[in-house]
Copies of this chain bind each other. A is one copy, B any other.
Amino acid sequence: MKKTINKQIADIFVRIKEKKPLLHHITNFVVMNDTANLTLHIGALPVMAHAKEEMEEMTAISNALILNPGTLNAEWVKSMKIAGKKANSLEIPIILDPVGAGATTYRTKTNLNFLHNLRLAVVRGNSGEIGALSGAGGKVKGVESVEDIKNPERIAQKMAQRYGTTVVITGKRDIVANAKDFYYVDNGHELMATITGTGCMSTTMIGAFAAVEKNYALAATAALATFGIAGEMAAKKSNGPASFRVALLDSVYNLAPEIIEKRAKVTKV
């Protein structure tokens, strides 16, 4: 009998706990503490490192590379490229979070450069960011999507085909697309939009799942469902966004495969 998708998701979750993959982050200053903690709570190991002197060596011992140019500058971008090339040469999955693409030319160009010169396992952005990178419109104010793109499914899949990657657009309903499949994820809670870094955290989550599951569209879907379930659980223990953030991290740690299997709201198209 074929496993249900919810069972598959729960199984990937368990595999993270067993394998404790190392997630090499080159990420922004705002979320480093949150994403390092999240990495530990889901059962993986975090390392935040950006020095060119250690880039290849650090990437080489990692199980996934997360590139998040949210507070980018030229030096950090260089390190991201070195790490990315190394990851590609060793078949280590790279997850790109194109924070603020569309807000400035520099951000758009830097992220397009990654898309053109690296093989990315997953690109995760909000509607405005993916819109900017695909040339489909959308609008970004700072790092927030303030105007959604139309036909996000078509845009995500076209982009996935063009760059040979999996494209994730997170929002009220998350969309995951590779060249041939779509997944929708309907887990989550509106409080997740009230704190900074939930986007970055979902990217880290995707890194943890992609480190142990080669079907990256399934891995991303599993990550988003899992993170969304934690958000739903956390919302019940919150008095506002900051106590929600604490509860969200607690909930990720307290998740069990049975909960995930029962609560994941995933649709494969």
**In the assembled complex, how far is the CB of residue A56 from the closest CB belonging to chain B, in whole angstroms?**
9
Docked complex Cα distance between A246 and B53 (Å): 35
What is the interface of chain A, defined by CB distance below 8 A to chain B?
Answer: 20, 22, 24, 28-34, 36-37, 39-41, 45-54, 57-58, 61-62, 70-75, 100, 103-107, 141-144, 194-197, 237, 239-243, 245-251, 253-254
B47:A74 contact, CB within 8 angstroms: no
Nearest 8 Cβ contacts at the A-B interface: A240-B250, A47-B142, A242-B249, A54-B106, A54-B104, A36-B196, A51-B73, A53-B106
Which of B48, B53, B144 is in CB contact (< 8 Å) with A70?
Answer: B48
> Which of A29, A61, A72, A247 counts the most B-chain CB atoms under 10 A from its CB?
A29
Docked complex Cα distance between A250 and B243 (Å): 7
Docked complex Cα distance between A31 and B104 (Å): 24
| Known contacts A240-B251, A242-B250: A33-B71 contact under CB 8 Å | no
Chain B residues with CB under 8 Å of A142's CB are 22, 24, 45-47, 58, 61-62
Docked complex Cα distance between A239 and B234 (Å): 11
**In the assembled complex, how far is the CB of residue A247 from the closest CB belonging to chain B, in whole angstroms?**
7
B51:A195 contact, CB within 8 angstroms: no
Which of B41, B52, B62, B105 is in CB contact (< 8 Å) with A194?
Answer: B41
Chain B residues with CB under 8 Å of A40's CB are 194-196, 241
A48:B30 contact, CB within 8 angstroms: yes
Chain B residues with CB under 8 Å of A243's CB are 246-247, 250
For this complex, 22 residue pairs linking A to B, each with C-beta atoms less than 8 Å apart, are A20-B141, A22-B141, A30-B32, A30-B48, A33-B33, A37-B195, A37-B241, A41-B242, A47-B143, A48-B70, A51-B74, A52-B73, A54-B107, A57-B106, A58-B104, A73-B75, A237-B239, A240-B254, A241-B249, A242-B247, A242-B250, A243-B250
Give the residue name and chain of the B residue nearest to A59 (CB).
B104
Docked complex Cα distance between A237 and B46 (Å): 26
Docked complex Cα distance between A46 and B39 (Å): 24
Chain B residues with CB under 8 Å of A57's CB are 104-106
**In the assembled complex, how far is the CB of residue A211 from the closest CB belonging to chain B, in whole angstroms?**
12
